[in-house]
Structures are given as C-alpha cells and as structure tokens.
C-alpha cells in the first residue's frame, strides 16, 4: 500500500503547504470532485483556484504522462491563474506555460510538447484543435473557469465536445460564482460540459461563513436635470406612437414604454418575417415591411432613452453624431434615414448641442467624482473599480475625472478598436492591472472585461456607474471587492429611469438563481453515492481505499480507469481522410466547429477568395441570409462571386437560411440577384437551413471531390498575381515567417530568386526585418530535397 490516503489526497507533496492555507470546504469539494465531471458553484474570493490546483496535481499524480488545460475567458485572468500555480505548486516552471494567440502556431506546438499544465483562452485552444496543431488525447483534466459562459456558440461548448471525443481519460471541472438565473440555463451548462456532479457553496454555509468578508451595498439616488427630462419626453412620446402601431398589428401586447423590453423588440423580427412569408397581398407585405422599420427605429429610440437616462448628454451626442456621419456617407439604411429626418429627432439633436454648450453633464459624473475624492482623501491606498456598461461613457468619465488631484484614473476596456476608439491589447490590459495593484493608478473605469474573476486584493470599493439587468454580471461586479478584507459597493441610480427597473429585474433574477441552486443542492444530496451522505473526508477515503485496492497491480502500481474506446464508424474514418481549407474568419461560425467534430481535417488559412476550398477546382462562398442581403446592398456580393468564378472551375454559393423572410430588399431585387448569379456568373447555389446542414453539405462535397485521384487541395489558395515582380513577392511570402513587407525587402536586396536562394545566413540577416530564425528557415528550404509524402 502507498502513502496514507489522507496525506495523498489532501496534503499533496506538489502543493506548497507552507504558503497555502487550505480550508475544510475546499478539501471537501476536492474530494467530492475526484474522477467526476464536476461543476463547482462557489462565491467569489473563496479560493476556487486552490480547488482547481488540488485536483490538477492529483490528476497528474494518478496519470503521470498526461497534460492539464486551464481555460479562462481573458488573458489577464489566464495570467492570474498561471501566477497562482507558479506560486502554490512545486511543479517546475517550464512545465507550467501560457499559450496565447500572439505566439505563432509552430511555437505553440513546441510549447505543447513540453508542457504539463497549459493556461490559455478558449479561442486559442479552439483554433489549435480545429487546425490539429495538437491533440487532446492525453489531456486528463480541463478546467473551465467562469463556466457560466458554456452556452450557445461559445468556444467552451465545442472544446468540451471535442475533448470528450478525443481524450482517453477525460475529466472536466467547471468553476463559477454565478451559473445563471434559471434552471434551464444551469441545465444547459451542465449538458454542454458533460457534468455528472454539482458542488454548491453559499456565503451562509457553516464551513464557508468564517472566510466571507462583509460587503456593504448602498444605493445613491440621483435626479435628472430638466434638460435631460425634455429630451427623454420627446423620445418617450415617439416610442409610444410606434408601440401603438405595433400593438394595433397584434405584434405586442402593450404600448406602455416601461413594459416593452429590448428582448421583446428583438423577438419581433422572426415573427414579422414569418408573417411576410405568409402574406397573400402586396398591401399586407408593405405593412409588414413598414413594421420592420418601426421595430428598428424603436430599438434606436429606446437606446437613446437609455443613454440620456443612465449615461448622459455626451454619450447621447456621440451616438447621434455617429449615425449622422453614416447618413452623410450614404452608409445608413432607409429606416435610419427616415428617423433622423423627422422633426423630433432634429429637435433632440438641437437640444443635445445646447446642453453641451451650456456645460451640462449627467449628475452621476459629479456624484462619482465626489465619492472617489472622499474615498481617496480618507484612504490614499484605496483601490476603486468603476463599472460602466458603455465604452463611450468610460472615455467621458476618465476625461471628467482628470481635474481631481486625488484621482489617478485609467480606462480598462476590451481589445476591439472602433473607429477612433482604440481598444486595449491583452498585453496592455495585464500592464494596466499591474499598475493598478502597484498604485500607479488608484481608479479603473472598466467595461464588462473587468467583471470576471480578476483578483485585486487591494480593491476596497466598487462603483456601479449604471445598473445591468443580469444576475451573473452583477454578482461578478460585486465580487471584485471584499476578497481579502471588507468591501463596499455603491450603485449610482438615476431616479424614475431604467436604472431602477434594471436593478429590480436583476434582484429577481438573483433570487431565482439562489432558489434554483438550493433545489439542485437538495437533489444532489439525495443522489449521493449508494443514496448515503458522506459524512466527512475520512469516511470517503476509506471507501476510496477499497476501490483502489481493486485497481492496483500486486506491486502497488495504479491502474487509472480508461474510457472505453468505441471503434470508428466507416463515416468517421472517411471524414478523417478529408481536408477542407477554411478562411480563418469562419471560426466565428458554427460551421467550422461542426466540421471538426465530424473528424474533418480543417486547414485554417487567410483566404482572399472563397470561404472554403474543397479542391483545386471547387471553391465555396458561404452566406447567411442576412449577410447575403447586406452584401447585395453594399455591392460586395457580385465582386466576391466574380473572384470565385475566376479562381475555381466549380464555384458554389451556399445560402444559409431564407433571404426572402429576413430582408429589407424587395422580392423582385432578390429574384434578380439569384437569377443573375446562376445565369450570368455560372455559380451553383445550394440552400441550407442551418450551419450544421452547411457543414454536412461541405463534407459530402469534399468526400466526393477528394476521392478522385486527380484532385488535390491548393496549398496557396490566394489568387496568384499577373505581374512578374508581384509573382516573385508572392513566392517569397509563402515562406513561413516572411510577410509581404519582408518579401519586398529581400527582393530589393538580392534582386533575383536565384541570388536570394543562393545566399548565406549572415547575408540574409542584413536585410531589414529578417532575423536569424527566418534566415535559417530560408537557407534550409533552399537546400532541402523534396520528398513526396
């Protein structure tokens, strides 16, 4: 018999016991999650990383030749978990690695070969397993942090399916503080992550309560100025008129502005489309198309109302200006133009300009500055997080706070750049968080990117600049304080606005979530092993000792349970021999993931022509019904199909969905476009109902095409240039690591391909942008003897 079970399962030698002080509830959760796909619901700040760490080192001990993956939604959160594992385990540093999208695929493959625990975002892992850079076969545990995201098309869902398909000995651990406000949402997470067991801890549990730090919640009520109320009243009256019209058509049940939600308006699109498809007269169709425009404008008016109520005059002005520019550049659709040409919207634009000229701000800004100033005056070491739903408001708040000497504020937003509003790279986000911890900044004005998981021990005050009607997001926001000491949450709430409505909606959702978890917990208690509750760790360990005796060799060697391998079906074997080249931007659609799950070899490339290449002669452009209509309006469609026709002998357009029931384009124009595609462009059209059906069609086409011996996949799917100099650049840019700019520099230096390929490494490294690694690659390729595989 090996070491005592208590020591082996609870005080693992790979965990630094001198640093980490584990708690009984963590140990109990760890024990209960052994060898089961588990969902752990635990309040923020109670050491969920420690539970993951305990399970990870135990899994590596039981299956020494395996690897572990720790996933988190953002790079700062990934880096935080990586740092915790480095601090709390005795595992060699070179075995704990970050794998990020900024690392080239070849390097990621090399890192993977040497790693024991990989820390990454789900998007990186998803792309790597789709491209088959490495396999999940020997991964014994995947940890899904913030696993409430495992719904819909989020990458967690695909990764879990692929993992359960490929891994020999899979285990999943999902971690969250807020799984969702309904049973249906929690059940969806469980199904998507193949969860068998749920562990739930609350702040009132006897073993948890001693470690919970009090968080004081306060509302700060704010009155809107008369100038704001005048604008709001105009918006409200226009909304009411639209809602009356929609109610008359039996599309909504009320025209009360306070009782029609954004969700209600979004759901109308499919309802109206269905009615259009069933309409028998042109008059009925015209009325329904008009209703679509009214719904679109209702959403715009509702958004404007939210901005003036909860964000302020500058946020509204930026929205109005952005849409005016769209109209001036002729990029606006008909409904937007009609709305902005109305007398009431012109009046709103005028009133907004007058308010800004008068120096009027949302009173929340003055109140926020007052709160921050007072907090930092009383405690200069304080760290404050201010959450704001809209990115435009983040910029306005930072600018407004610049005049206060006590406040050193910085914006903390996502990566996406929007026109002049530059996003923050993941590297910049990590640096800002470090500067915040060090006190270079004492206030962060953040969007939702800072809501999840970030452990900033120094943060003692969280301010909600606005209220979000989401239980998950509110819990996550509050969880940024009270982690190591008492914290405080202040909620700025504009009186008689949707701030108040959102607050109470969130409270109801949070209450429902607690009830759902309570019921789930009771159900879990009834389903304990053999119907009996395990009273403590030791009783469980005694049972484990008996189980283990049966799963050891006479010499004491462990025999971990292996997943039974089912033989591949003929269809799966066939799929494994199929390669489809996909444009890398298509990973945002479920099609590529569906192809990967069917066993297709997916090769991600930056394709200039087509979305999918099935062979040298077959190229496929995929359009959803919405994208088809949008590309028809903006002129992209025929340009893309012309390129498709010019580059492939068999060009195919897959039309996903029905463009006739999801369009503002007239029926005649759609028929004209479709007939032109077939007759003038000689492009085949195939219609599918869903991304899954699209994937199936691509697979069947590829099977048929690739079973012919004379067909093959083009490894350089871009269109080759006609000019000789451009063709030379095209050839050199095909070398890994050499982009178009480096190709130009190399050809300027060596003039001919012959001179370039005959050059030595020292000569190559003299060229701008060519380092030793790329020079070695060129030298090696130019002297390598081709071997057909």
Question: Residue 661's CB: how many other CB atoms inside 10 A?
Answer: 15
Backbone angles phi, psi at 647, to 5 degrees: -105, -15
Query: What is the chain's mean pLDDT, rounded?
Result: 85
559 pLDDT band (50/70/90 cuts)?
very low
Check residue 540 and give its pLDDT: 45
Greater confidence, 536 or 628? 628
Question: Residue 200's CB: how many other CB atoms inside 10 A?
Answer: 17
For CA atoms 112, 116, 119, 122, give the dihedral sign: positive
Question: Residue 430's CB: how many other CB atoms inside 10 A?
Answer: 17
406 pLDDT band (50/70/90 cuts)?
very high
Check residue 715 and give its pLDDT: 53
Average pLDDT over residues 240-257: 93
Beta bridge partners of 685: 653
Q: In what order do the strands lie in the sheet with 684-688?
A: 601-605, 579-583, 612-613, 618-624, 650-656, 684-688
Check residue 355 and give its pLDDT: 94
The answer on pLDDT for 539 being more than 80 is no
Report percent pLDDT > 90 for the chain: 45
Greater confidence, 504 or 740? 504
117 pLDDT band (50/70/90 cuts)?
very high
515 pLDDT band (50/70/90 cuts)?
confident
For CA atoms 539, 540, 545, 546, give the dihedral sign: positive
Greater confidence, 42 or 709? 42
Please state, in angstroms and rounded to a whole number, the distance separating the CA atoms of residues 190 and 172: 11
Per DSSP, helices labelled H in 680-738 are 691-706, 724-732
Please state, in angstroms and rounded to a whole number, the distance separating the CA atoms of residues 97 and 86: 10
Kind and range of the H or E element at 675? helix 667-679
The answer on pLDDT for 10 being more than 70 is no
Beta bridge partners of 673: none
Q: Is-above-0.85 flag for pTM?
A: no
Check residue 519 and give its pLDDT: 81
Pairing of the two strands 139-145 and 197-200: unpaired
The answer on pLDDT for 202 being more than 90 is no
Q: Is 216 helix (H, G, I), strand (E, B) or coil?
A: strand
The overall longest dimension of the chain from CA atoms, in Å, is 88
Report percent pLDDT > 70 for the chain: 87
Average pLDDT over residues 270-277: 83
Question: Residue 247's CB: how many other CB atoms inside 10 A?
Answer: 15
CB 34 within 8 Å of CB 66: no
414 pLDDT band (50/70/90 cuts)?
confident
**Which segments within 146-281 are labelled E, that is strand?**
172-176, 197-200, 215-222
Find the angle CA(522)-CA(144)-CA(463) to the nearest 5 degrees: 85
Q: 508-512, 526-530, 545-549: which range is least confident on average? A: 545-549
Question: How would you label 325-352 residue by residue, b for 16+ Cβ within 10 Å and e otherwise?
Answer: eeeeeeebeebbeebbeeeebeebbebb
Token look-up 């198309």 returns 289
Closest CA to 267 of 248, 280, 251, 279: 251
Check residue 527 and give its pLDDT: 67
Q: Is 491 helix (H, G, I), strand (E, B) or coil?
A: strand
Enumerate residues 6+ apart whose C-beta is below 8 A from 191. none
Token look-up 């958004």 returns 303
Check residue 4 and give its pLDDT: 34
Reduced DSSP (H G I as helix, E B as strand, rest coil) percent helix, strand, coil of the chain, to 5: 55, 15, 35
The answer on pLDDT for 402 being more than 60 is yes
């Amino acid at each position: 018999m090996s070491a005592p079970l208590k020591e082996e399962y609870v005080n693992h030698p790979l965990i630094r016991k001198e640093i980490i002080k584990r708690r009984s509830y963590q140990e109990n959760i760890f024990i209960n999650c052994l060898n089961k796909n588990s969902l752990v619901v635990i309040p923020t700040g109670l050491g969920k990383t420690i539970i993951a760490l305990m399970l990870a080192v135990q899994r590596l001990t039981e299956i020494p030749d395996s690897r572990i993956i720790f996933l988190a939604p953002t790079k700062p959160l990934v880096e935080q978990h990586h740092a915790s594992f480095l601090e709390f385990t005795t595992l060699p540093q070179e075995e704990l690695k970050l794998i990020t999208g900024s690392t080239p695929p070849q390097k990621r493959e090399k890192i993977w070969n040497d790693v024991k625990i990989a820390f990454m975002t789900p998007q990186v892992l998803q792309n790597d397993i789709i491209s088959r850079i490495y396999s999940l076969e020997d991964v014994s545990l995947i940890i899904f942090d913030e696993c409430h995201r495992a719904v819909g098309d989020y990458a967690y869902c695909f990764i879990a399916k692929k993992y359960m398909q490929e891994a020999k000995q899979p285990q999943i651990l999902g971690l969250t503080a807020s799984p969702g406000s309904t049973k249906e949402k929690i059940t969806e997470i469980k199904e998507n992550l193949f969860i068998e067991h749920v562990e739930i801890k609350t702040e009132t549990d006897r073993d948890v309560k001693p470690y919970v730090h009090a968080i004081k919640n306060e509302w700060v009520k704010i009155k809107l100025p008369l100038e704001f109320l005048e604008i709001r009243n105009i918006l409200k009256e226009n909304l009411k008129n639209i809602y009356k019209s929609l109610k008359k058509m039996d599309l909504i049940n009320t025209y009360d502005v306070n009782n029609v939600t954004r969700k209600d308006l979004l759901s109308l699109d499919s309802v109206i489309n269905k009615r259009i498809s069933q309409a028998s007269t042109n008059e009925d169709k015209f009325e329904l198309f008009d209703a679509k425009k009214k719904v679109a404008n209702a959403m715009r008016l509702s958004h404007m109302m939210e901005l003036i109520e909860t964000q302020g005059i500058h946020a509204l002005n930026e929205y109005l200006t952005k849409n005016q520019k769209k109209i001036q550049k002729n990029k606006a659709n008909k409904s937007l133009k009609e709305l902005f040409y109305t007398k009431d919207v012109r009046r709103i634009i005028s009133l907004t300009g007058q308010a800004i000229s008068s120096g009027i701000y949302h009173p929340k800004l003055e109140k926020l500055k007052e709160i921050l100033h007072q907090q930092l005056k009383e405690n200069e070491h304080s760290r404050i997080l201010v959450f704001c739903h809209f990115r435009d408001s983040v910029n306005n708040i930072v600018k407004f706070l610049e005049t206060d000497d006590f406040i050193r504020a910085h914006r903390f937003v996502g990566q996406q750049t929007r026109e002049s509003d530059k996003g923050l790279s993941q590297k910049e986000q990590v640096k800002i968080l470090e500067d915040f911890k060090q006190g270079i900044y004492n206030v962060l004005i953040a969007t939702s990117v800072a809501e999840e998981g970030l452990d900033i021990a120094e943060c003692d005050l969280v301010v909600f600049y606005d209220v979000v009607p989401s239980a998950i997001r509110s819990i996550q926001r509050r969880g940024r304080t009270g982690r190591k000491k008492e914290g405080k949450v202040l909620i700025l709430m504009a009186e008689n606005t949707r701030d108040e409505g959102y607050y109470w909606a969130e409270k109801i959702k949070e209450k429902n979530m607690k009830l759902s978890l309570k019921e789930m917990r009771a159900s879990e208690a009834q389903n304990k092993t053999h119907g009996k509750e395990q009273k403590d760790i030791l009783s469980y360990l005694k049972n484990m000792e008996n189980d283990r005796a049966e799963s050891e060799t006479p010499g004491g060697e462990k025999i971990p349970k292996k997943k039974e391998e089912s033989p591949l079906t003929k269809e799966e074997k066939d799929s494994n021999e199929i390669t489809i080249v996909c444009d890398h931007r298509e990973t945002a659609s479920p099609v590529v993931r569906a192809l990967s799950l069917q066993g297709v070899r997916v090769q991600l490339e930056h394709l200039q022509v087509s979305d999918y290449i099935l062979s040298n002669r077959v190229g496929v452009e995929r359009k959803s019904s919405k994208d088809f209509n949008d590309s028809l309006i903006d002129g992209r469609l025929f340009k893309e199909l012309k390129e498709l026709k010019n580059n492939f002998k068999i060009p195919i357009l897959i039309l996903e969905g029905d463009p006739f029931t999801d369009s503002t384009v007239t029926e005649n124009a759609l028929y004209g476009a479709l007939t032109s595609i077939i007759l003038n462009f000689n492009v085949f059209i195939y219609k599918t109902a869903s991304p899954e059906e699209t994937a199936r069609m691509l697979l069947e086409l590829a099977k048929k095409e690739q079973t012919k011996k004379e067909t093959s996949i083009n490894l350089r799917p871009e269109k080759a240039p006609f000019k000789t100099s451009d063709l030379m650049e095209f050839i050199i840019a095909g070398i890994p690591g050499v982009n178009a700019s480096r190709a130009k520099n190399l050809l300027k230096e060596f003039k001919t391909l012959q001179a370039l390929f005959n050059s030595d490494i020292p000569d190559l490294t003299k060229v701008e942008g060519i380092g030793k690694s790329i020079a070695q690659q060129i030298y090696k390729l130019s002297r390598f003897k081709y071997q057909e595989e």
